[in-house]
Amino acid sequence: MNTCETNICAPIPLWNQTAPFTTPGDADLTEHFRPSDDGIERLTDVTSPTLTYYPASGRGPHPAVMICPGGGYGILAWNHEGKDVAGWLNANGISAFLLKYRCPNRRQAALADAVRGMRLIRSRADKFNLRADKIGILGFSAGAHLSARVCTLPEEPAYPPQDATDNTPARPDFAFIIYPAHIDREGWKADPDLNITPETPPTFLIQSQDDTLVNSSLAYYIALKDAGVPTELHLYPSGGHGYGLMRTGRPTDAWPALAIDWFGREIMQSRAW
């Protein structure tokens, strides 16, 4: 069990052996943050994927969410779509796990990392003081696309199994899909590679009309509705893209409160958990 200080635990490696889809060029990369003048932390050249556990306060057991930051599969938006989100979840009684998945341009590896992350969380629910039936996923932009892929896994495995953890179900119990990317195809159709069925978890969707990626949310919503998946979509007239938990003065600032309301009403069916 990893040790925790000030409510944050040491990062947990995802893989006991060599991670699947490791490439020879990984040895030449050094994980780093890109220079920034806008206060956004952009992590890239990730070759050693991890989970960082942020436990909620109180007796528990707690519901939990794995966070997938966005960044176009090129970087991970580490603070406003990652660490800040973990703090927000904790403030609402939800334990959080921040996924550091491989990038740049490692979509197959990123999916393996996300699936393995969900399995690790669920297989250790007792150790982490979690409700094993209330473990969800939350993603932004490319991280929302990654989250949707985890929610709609096909029958074939995402990677070769390594150990007993890989016998644990990976599908989340619920999902927050925040301004997703890469989902839509021509005619507001969802990517056919997404295996959307009635077993796809209940989903909360957010997007703004002036986001150039708005069709991804609409396509995903239509596909979920057609499959009979309980889904709530909030579409704002303005807000753009990539705001995460930053306050912008636009209508999208309301999404965190709406998300928690949906979570309590539809997932926990309680105002206290």
pLDDT at 231 over 50: yes
Distance in angstroms (rounded) separating the CA atoms of residues 76 and 100: 8
* Closest among 48, 47, 50, 82 to 68, alpha carbons compared: 82
CATH tag for 35-157+164-268 (out of 3.40.640.10, 3.30.40.230, 3.90.1150.10, 3.40.50.1820): 3.40.50.1820
pLDDT in tens, 35-94: 999 999 999 999 999 999 999 999 999 999 999 999 999 999 999 999 999 999 999 999
What is the pLDDT, as a whole number, of residue 1?
A: 42
Instruction: Classify residue 141 by its DSSP letter.
Output: T
* Token pair for 233: 């979509």
Beta pairing, strands 175-178 & 130-140: parallel
pLDDT in tens, 152-211: 998 889 999 999 999 999 999 999 999 999 999 988 899 999 999 999 999 999 999 999
Beta-bridge mates of residue 184: 190
pLDDT in tens, 101-145: 999 999 999 999 999 999 999 999 999 999 999 999 999 999 999
What is the pLDDT, as a whole number, of residue 271?
A: 83
pLDDT band at 8, cuts 50/70/90? low
Distance in angstroms (rounded) separating the CA atoms of residues 21 and 30: 17
Residue 177 and residue 142 in contact, taking contact as beta carbons nearer than 8 Å = no
* Token pair for 34: 């890109």
Query: Could you count the other beta carbons within 10 Å of the beta carbon of residue 38?
Result: 6
Q: pTM of the full predicted structure?
A: 0.96
Query: Could you count the other beta carbons within 10 Å of the beta carbon of residue 72?
Result: 16
pLDDT in tens, 238-247: 999 999 999 9
pLDDT at 7 over 70: no
pLDDT at 3 over 80: no
**Domain residue ranges of the chain, discontinuous segments joined by +:** 35-157+164-268
